[in-house]
Amino acid sequence: MNRIRFLATTAIVLVMAGAASAQTAPSPEFPLPYDSQRGVFSFATGLERSLAAVVRVTTLGVSTGPSRDGNEPTAVSGGSGVIIDAEAGIIVTNNHVVEGGQKFRVDLADGRLLDAELIGADLATDLAVLRITAGGLSEVETVDSDTLRTGDLAFAVGYPLGLDQTLTMGVISGLGRSGMGDAVEDYIQTDAAVNSGNSGGPLLDSRGRLIGINTSILSGDFSGGNDGIAFAVPTRIMMFVVEQLRANGVVSRGGIGATLGSLTAERAVELGLGFVRGAIVEDVVPGSPAERAGLQRGDVITRIQNRPVANAGSVQAVVGIAPPGTALTLVYLRAGAEASATLNVEITEPGGVQIGTSAVQAFGASFAQTPSGIQVQAVEGGSAAAAADLRAGDIVTEVGGRAVSSLADFGARLGGRGDAVLTVARTDGEAEVRIRR
């Protein structure tokens, strides 16, 4: 039986090859692109135009070990990147590839070695922008990631595990993935092989167009090896971040004035819900867009801008790339009844403190009164709180060396000028956290 199936499959391929002998591009009848000169099915024609735009990125810093010159920068990390604007020499990579670097070096596919300038980086999306000055550069064509479908072919390109430029193929195995810990999450999931060194490299469609930036993998052990699940930041988010970094060097994000939590199985049972996808409104800041739109504690947001909401990260993925003044439409459940609301995104004052009825939002973190004290409920990736290593679950015991016992007292103490110095209790002891405004 197996032999019959194999012969039948071979016959079909040969018939397709013969019928498509004059083809060099896909057609409805024969979707695989065919190279008639070599007699093989191949995606090379579409991909080769983009491969020249994929670069190796090496981050240089001060070595901690002995050297002849203690100030001589040495390689401390590396990854990949992709040129999206050849004329201006703009390269997109990951923030974790360039983080902590003093200098940056770029190896082009044609063998040239160039110094690069860091234009800016964004921790919340793990993206960074470099600039090089050179002629004869190639750039990748960018396509809207919202057009993707699960099952589309995907190609990852980069410089993994110390190898030269490497191309791997897979499919898009999921869209809208979130819950990995960052503030802005709407990842493309793929089973294309992505390994250490691929970080910052492009994820391409079958025509060689950029659909995302490879940023992380899910590994089943401590080796960090590829297990067939990798994540990429979609171009929908990438373009927003790149435009802001090129224009301002930093990314400014708006907010809606609501503290959100993810709907887990435990919370769903508690609320009497028969599903586990959504974002729970934990608190609403007085005078905020969320309050003006009528949102209340306990509302469960299920859709935003007609996009399904898997958890709190899904909402932030939309809010986090919406320019100030953008009107967003939410669909939510309240007491089992579905309703909708429209609200406008507003820029919050950096370092500002927003005091709600049962929570305080400050520095990109939310705090609530619990039986154990003032507890950190959530910390947004890329925020001042995240940079200071404030963690969800921390119990704040002091602000500026003075004990706090109530949420109102805590909010008032945070409203002062200068850095906020928090003393927090953790399971492994006490720590001091300095948050820079």
Percent of the chain whose predicted confidence (pLDDT) is above 90:
33
Q: What is the pLDDT of residue 31?
A: 67
Q: Taking the CB of residue 334, how many other CB atoms lie within 10 A of it? A: 14
The pLDDT tens digits for 162-178 are 888 889 999 999 887 76
Higher pLDDT, 350 or 93: 93
Q: What is the pLDDT of residue 349?
A: 60
The pLDDT tens digits for 205-237 are 999 999 999 998 765 555 555 567 889 999 999
The pLDDT tens digits for 76-129 are 778 999 999 999 999 999 999 999 888 999 999 999 999 999 999 988 888 999
What residues are labeled active site? 96, 126, 199
Confidence of residue 385 (pLDDT cuts 50, 70, 90): confident
The model's pTM is 0.73
Is the pLDDT at 15 greater than 60? The verdict is no
Q: Which residues contact 18 (CB under 8 A, 6 or more apart)?
A: none
- What average pLDDT does the segment 8-25 reach? 42
The pLDDT tens digits for 19-71 are 444 444 555 555 678 888 888 888 888 888 899 999 999 999 865 555 555 56
Q: What is the pLDDT of residue 12?
A: 38
SS (H, E, C) the chain: CHHHHHHHHHHHHHHHHHHCCCCCCCCCCCCCCEECCCCEECCHHHHHHHHCCEEEEEEEEECCCCCCCCCCEEEEEEEEEEEEECCCCEEEECHHHHCCCCEEEEECCCCCEEEEEEEEEECCCCEEEEECCCCCCCCCCECCHHHCCCCCEEEEEECHHHCCCEEEEEEEEEEEECCCCCCCCCEEEECCCCCCCCCCCEEECCCCCEEEEEEEECCCCCCCCCCCCEEEEEHHHHHHHHHHHHHHCCCCCEECCEEEEECCHHHHHHHCCCCCCCEEEEEECCCCHHHHCCCCCCCEEEEECCEECCCHHHHHHHHCCCCCCCEEEEEEEECCEEEEEEEECEECCCCCEEECCCEEEECCEEEEEECCEEEEEEECCCCHHHHCCCCCCCEEEEECCEECCCHHHHHHHHCCCCCEEEEEEECCEEEEEEECC
Beta bridge partners of 93: 128
Confidence of residue 150 (pLDDT cuts 50, 70, 90): very high
Is the pLDDT at 393 greater than 90? The verdict is no
Is the pLDDT at 267 greater than 60? The verdict is yes
- What average pLDDT does the segment 282-308 reach? 88
